[in-house]
Amino acid sequence: MLTECAQRHGEEHPDTIAARNNLAGRYAATGRRDIAVTEFERALSDAVRTLGEHHVLAEVVRENLAVCHEDADRFGDAAHHWQQLVAQRAARLGRHHPDTLLARARLAVACRRAGRLREAADHYRDVLQHSAAFSAEDVEAWRLGLARTLRRMGQDDECRAQLRLVVAQRRLRLGVRHPRTLAVHYQLGLSYARSGRPEEAVRVLREVYRHCLAAVGDPEVRRLALQVRRELAAAYRAAGRPQAVAALR
pLDDT digit string, tens, across residues 106-134: 999 999 999 999 999 999 999 999 999 99
- Per-residue buried b or exposed e for 186-202, using 16+ beta carbons within 10 Å of the residue's own CB: bbbbbbbbebebbebbb
pLDDT digit string, tens, across residues 28-41: 999 888 999 999 99
Determine the residue type at 101. L
Q: Which of 10-14, 167-171, 229-233 has the lowest mean pLDDT?
A: 10-14
- Per-residue buried b or exposed e for 60-83, using 16+ beta carbons within 10 Å of the residue's own CB: bbbbbbbbbbbebebbebbbbbbb
pLDDT attached to residue 245:
87
Whether pLDDT at 3 is above 90 = no
Confidence of residue 17 (pLDDT cuts 50, 70, 90): confident
Please, what's the largest Cα pairwise distance for the chain?
81
Q: Which of 1-15, 27-41, 96-110, 138-152 has the lowest mean pLDDT?
A: 1-15
Q: Environment class of residue 129 by beta-carbon count within 10 Å: exposed (0-12), middle (13-18) or buried (19+)?
A: exposed
Supply the pTM of this predicted model. Answer: 0.89
- Per-residue buried b or exposed e for 230-247, using 16+ beta carbons within 10 Å of the residue's own CB: ebbbbbbeebebeebeee
